[in-house]
Amino acid sequence: MNISEIMNPTIHSISSDKSVSHAARLMSEYQMDSLVVIDHGEVVGLVTSRDVLTAHPNRIVADAMCNQVHYLLADQNIWEAHHYFLNENARLAIILDDEQISGMITKEIVEMQIAQYKDPLSGLYRAPYIQFIGESYLQKKIPFHLLFIDLNDFGRINKQYGHPFGDDVIRTYSAVLSSIAEDQGDHLCRYAGDEFVLISTAPDALVEQYIELISRPTDVLDITVSAAVGHVNGYSEPDFFAHSWRELIAQASLASSAIKAQKTASTFS
């Protein structure tokens, strides 16, 4: 979903020499929480309802407005907007389309859209989130570790204990994974069913610790749970950036399946 689909296309402006009380009247009239401050055809700031409430009504807009203006492009997606607002600690941005102002968007609106991509059971983001992270890193030529985590014998857990208990296992195991993947460069999602994907830019040694911890049998709700972890190392993989996200996730998934098959074969040998 692109920003253009959820932005507010209506823009109202005010000049910096107008009074704060005039800005308040305009916001009330237009039912807007913010105004773009434009002087001589140039954007010089933003004034919000919060700015108006904290300033004396007789002061001019120039004294109350925020001089730092944030811009996003209409064809950027909501994940890019989400990360921009987080990294810049911004609450509102002007949208540009072909270098022309085409609308505005708030952090709150973006967060409402992002919330739809959260898995209600695990509390983790779903597959589109990790795809965005992976494709962004590939585009920027940032190497990363890709871990495909597949719970072992989860179907047996559902059959033996029932699906509600299986849901409890997914919920608890998600919390376990979240506690492991706490590095700033870690991004975790519930990919599908009993499968999880982790992208990490942590050092090799730390990622190896992740794999060891995740692969090790763990007690979850009085039963033992383990996982097969397929690993693609973007720091050592030949021609890593020549591969698409689809190819890399398939490679990690197949590596996880091979580990499962090897475990099954050793069990019955």
Q: 10-residue block means of pLDDT along the chain (269 residues)?
A: 91 94 94 92 92 91 93 91 89 91 92 91 93 92 96 92 93 91 84 95 93 90 91 94 97 95 56
Last residue of a domain, one of 90, 113, 136: 113
Are 53 and 132 within one domain?
A: no
Which residue range is the domain that position 92 belongs to?
1-113
- pTM (predicted TM-score): 0.75
User: Of the candidates 113, 146, 161, which is a domain's last residue?
Assistant: 113
DSSP for residue 123: S
What is the dihedral sign for C-alpha 194, 198, 204, 207? negative
Summarize pLDDT for 59-115 with one digit per residue, the tens.
999 999 999 999 999 999 898 899 899 889 888 999 999 889 999 999 999 999 998
Residues 28 and 74 placed together within one structural domain of the fold: yes
- What gap in Å lies between CA 193 and CA 256, rounded to an integer? 15
Write down which residue in 113, 137, 161 finishes a domain: 113
Query: Residue 268: its pLDDT value, please?
Result: 33
Cα–Cα distance, 260 to 152 (Å, whole number): 7
Structurally, the chain folds into a number of domains equal to 2
Do the beta carbons of residue 48 and residue 32 sit within 8 Å? no
User: Using CA atoms, how far apart are residues 159 and 245, in angstroms rounded to an integer?
Assistant: 34
Question: In terms of Cα–Cα distance, which of 108, 104, 62, 101 is closest to 85?
Answer: 108
Asked whether residue 99 falls in the same domain as residue 128, the answer is no
Is residue 109 located within the same domain as residue 128?
no
Q: What is the secondary structure of 128-157 as a DSSP string?
A: HHHHHHHHHHHHTT---EEEEEEETTHHHH
Q: Identify the pLDDT of residue 269.
A: 37
Are 249 and 125 within one domain? yes
Whether residues 93 and 35 fall in one domain: yes
